[in-house]
Amino acid sequence: MFDFSAHLKQRFAALRSGAQFFSLRYVKQTSQHLSVRKNIAEPPQLSTDEGAMLTVRVNGVEAYAATNDISQRGLQAALERAENQARMLASHALLDLSDQPVATSCADYLSPNLNSAFPSLSDCYALLGSESANVPHDERLVNWQVSLGLENVEQIYLNSAGAQIRQAHRFVFPGLSVTAYDGQDSQTRSLGRENFGQQGGAEVIDACGIIGAARQVADQALQLIMAPNTPTGPRDLLLLPDQMILQIHESIGHPLELDRILGDERNYAGTSFVNVSDFGSLQYGSSLLNVTFNPDIPEQLASYGYDDDGTPASKQFLIRDGILERPLGGALSQYRSGMEGVANSRACSWNRAPIDRMANLNIEPGDQSMEQLVSGIEHGILMSTNRSWSIDDARNKFQFGCEWGQLIENGEIKGVVKNPNYRAISAQFWRSLSAVGDASTFKVLGTPNCGKGEPNQVVRVGHASPACVFANVDVFGGDA
């Protein structure tokens, strides 16, 4: 860990620059993805990526250049390219960044249990193969897969103001899915991977719950192909945490990214229904809605000590008691807008510049157990595990589909229904929030594939949430 740190500091100290300020962000990432499909081990996918980005500020103009040549010569060449770029841009610059504060911290940040050994490749395959073999023999079970993703990321940030920030993370993504087909309909039930990711070691595999889950997941896939379609019409909607993460992500996270509110993303990722003037006054949700940017849960997927501009990260309320308070804006967007934001300036790799991104975006727990949530619903439906999503460019009108649905009648969970979907308008939907689960319903989850930016950047995002109830939501089945 940080084996290259001393050499990098020496090379950074030896760089020569005419810029008023310059920085270096070094990133090394190794990853592996293992999979066993229908009891057959698939070849491992292994990768290593390493490089650095040099950023300069010349007469208030900022520019950058990236390189995978991290020798002294390679770093110096990248720094000179960045300086030349800054001078070429001077007559076209929209901002004077001469007075923008820069990072000065010296610190380390590590994922939990980072020093503990992770199971070997062969041990991981044995674990995946054992769980795959637990899928029952049934001719209607036509496909299943057990997978494990592992990523190790080491990052070092140095700048000419004296900052020295080292961060090392290990991300673990367990996954299990089973598909059933009866000759007319196919249904998939899954656990983990796209909605469960955490930092840490082998304990993350246990926390996900895939070990010993194959029979239950397969049984639920079979239940779905035999289940009736979800009925159409307004109902109270109970969303479990593994669907709440998609709801938070699309209808709170993206709309609150300050760069897109300022117009930066409109050509690609879209805009936002939120305006700068809405902060401090907009009733985003009901009084039960409390949303935080929270980098302080160690195992959560996007926990870190400092963002990629070196800004220290701390927990901040974005929405409190339903009122919109603060955007997801990093240092540059804060400087541009004059608004307070959070430390969420993030890049997916050494060859991308940091932009405003979600990180850990969570809903704070309420005061109701799962039993209380269910018992308070007279006519409703429970939905779990996203399988489809659609939302407009302003992140306002949406339609989401789930894998698993169960009817709720007179405060009791009834039969399974398939193809559960719901649709609404973001702010109206969050204002319909009628009950929030307590800590016993709260789960720390996350996804590895949030995309944004030109050129595209895919980053890891954490979402933790309790189960939540929304009143009078438009739900429908697959034939609507």
- 121-138 pLDDT, tens digit per residue, is 999 999 999 999 999 999
With a cut of 60, say whether residue 174 has pLDDT above it: yes
Q: Average pLDDT of 33-61?
A: 98
Residues of the chain with CATH 3.30.2290.10: 5-226
Q: How confident is the model at residue 194 (pLDDT cuts 50, 70, 90)?
A: confident
With a cut of 60, say whether residue 480 has pLDDT above it: no
**pLDDT value at position 53?**
98
**pLDDT value at position 101?**
95
**For the whole model, what pTM was predicted?**
0.96
Task: Report the distance separating Cα 327 and Cα 293, nearest Å.
Answer: 10
CATH fold, domain 5-226, is PmbA/TldD fold (3.30.2290)
Q: Could you tell me the two tokens for 121? A: 């490749």
Q: Work out whether strand 345-346 and strand 412-417 pair parallel, antiparallel, or are unpaired.
A: unpaired
First to last CA, the chain: 54
**pLDDT value at position 270?**
87
Q: How confident is the model at residue 334 (pLDDT cuts 50, 70, 90)?
A: very high
Mean pLDDT, the chain, as a whole number? 96
Contacts of 287 (CB under 8 A, 6+ apart): 321, 322
- 266-275 pLDDT, tens digit per residue, is 888 789 999 9
**pLDDT value at position 80?**
98
**pLDDT value at position 468?**
98
- 224-253 pLDDT, tens digit per residue, is 999 999 999 999 999 999 999 999 999 999
Please check whether residue 431 is in contact with residue 241, taking contact to mean a CB–CB distance below 8 angstroms: no
Contacts of 294 (CB under 8 A, 6+ apart): 300, 315, 360, 361, 362, 464
Task: Report the distance separating Cα 75 and Cα 339, nearest Å.
Answer: 34
